[in-house]
A = this chain, B = another copy of it.
């Protein structure tokens, strides 16, 4: 078993749920559409949702240079990036033992602002492909003005841990006799029928890569 990379990434609450293997961490980062970024602003914590994308050992974030989040990154402040996939509700007979089934990753790091134009363009590509695989080659490339108007931050995936819960709820032994339903309500993010832009050019049909859109899924016994 891979050990935790640092004291603060060590899962202490229910340590049996802690996972430190990079393939598990990567799969969760890749499946999650968005992350929540925590940073400190004027001494207080701020948490903002944003999209992310992984490329090898690097997690990319992007945004407006004026955003508080990216301004904090320009100051070399540390951030915490958390992604959470909710896989179900594990309903125990006792609320105390009820739980969520989930897969989450907590990543600490000091972002590096990406200045190299080639790496920046590659980050745009992986951010687009993270949300909609296949889209990059079927979209209008960013122009110079757009590239300047977007800040990209890179965080090395070195200090991360995952926490995973799967399976049925666990009750106190004496509660299994109670005439109460218990079990798991599986939950997933699912896509509806794509809604074409009202200004869609005539004759343009839904591209193959968007048909049956779904987030990649780890095999897991929810």
Where the two chains meet, the residues of A that have a C-beta atom closer than 8 Å to any C-beta of B are 8, 12-13, 33-34, 36-49, 51, 63-64, 66-68, 78-82, 84, 86, 88-89, 91, 93-96, 98, 100, 102, 104, 106, 108, 124, 127-128, 131-132, 135-136, 138-140, 142, 146, 149-150, 168-169, 171, 175-201, 203-207, 210, 213, 222
Contact = CB atoms under 8 A, between A and B. Distances in A.
Contacts of A36: 36, 38, 47, 49, 82, 84
How many copies of this chain?
Answer: 2
Given A84-B49, A86-B33, A195-B186, A181 B168 contact: no
A42 B179 CA distance: 47
Contact of A45 (B45, B64, B199): B45
Nearest to A94: B140
A210 B183 CA distance: 11
Contacts of A98: 128, 131, 139
A194 B193 CA distance: 24
A55 to B, nearest CB: 16
25 contacts: A12-B68, A36-B84, A38-B47, A40-B43, A45-B45, A91-B132, A93-B139, A95-B135, A96-B146, A96-B149, A96-B150, A98-B128, A168-B197, A176-B199, A181-B196, A181-B210, A182-B197, A182-B199, A184-B195, A184-B197, A185-B194, A185-B213, A186-B192, A187-B191, A188-B190
A138 B86 contact: no
A161 B123 CA distance: 30
